[in-house]
């Protein structure tokens, strides 16, 4: 049996609670007016684009519906809305695109 390792290991510091990545991502979505789906903790999904955000809330702007101020603690997830793609077209050579939809 090998002897236990000496207690010389440094305790690891826990990761920071905030990395700043959330703010960068929300800023990117806001500046580019990317359509998003926001899933709330109660299961409701609302769609629009993020016009404004701060540490505790965001403003979701929607077309034809009232804008929403949503507290971040009520949000389960934010996903970029899928871009609608048209039907697969044929390439200029007459060959199909192969179904990749790129």
Report pLDDT for 94: 44
Q: Report the predicted TM-score, pTM, of the whole model to 2 decimal places.
A: 0.63
| Cα 68–Cα 49–Cα 83 angle in degrees, nearest 5 | 140
Flag whether pLDDT at 63 surpasses 80.
Answer: yes
**pLDDT tens digits along 22-32:** 999 999 999 99
For 21-80, CATH number? 2.30.30.100
Closest CA to 56 of 43, 42, 70: 70
Neighbours of 39 (CB within 10 A): 14
Report domain extents, the chain: 21-80
């Amino acid at each position: 049996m090998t002897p236990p390792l000496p207690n010389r290991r440094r305790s690891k510091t826990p990761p920071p609670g905030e990395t700043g990545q959330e703010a960068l991502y929300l800023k990117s979505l806001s500046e580019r007016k990317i359509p998003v789906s926001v899933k709330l903790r109660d299961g409701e999904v609302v769609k629009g684009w993020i016009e404004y955000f701060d540490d505790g809330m965001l403003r979701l702007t929607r077309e034809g519906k009232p804008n929403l101020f949503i507290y971040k603690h009520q949000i389960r997830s934010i996903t970029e809305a899928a871009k609608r793609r048209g039907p697969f077209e044929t390439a200029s050579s007459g060959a199909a695109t192969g179904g990749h939809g790129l």
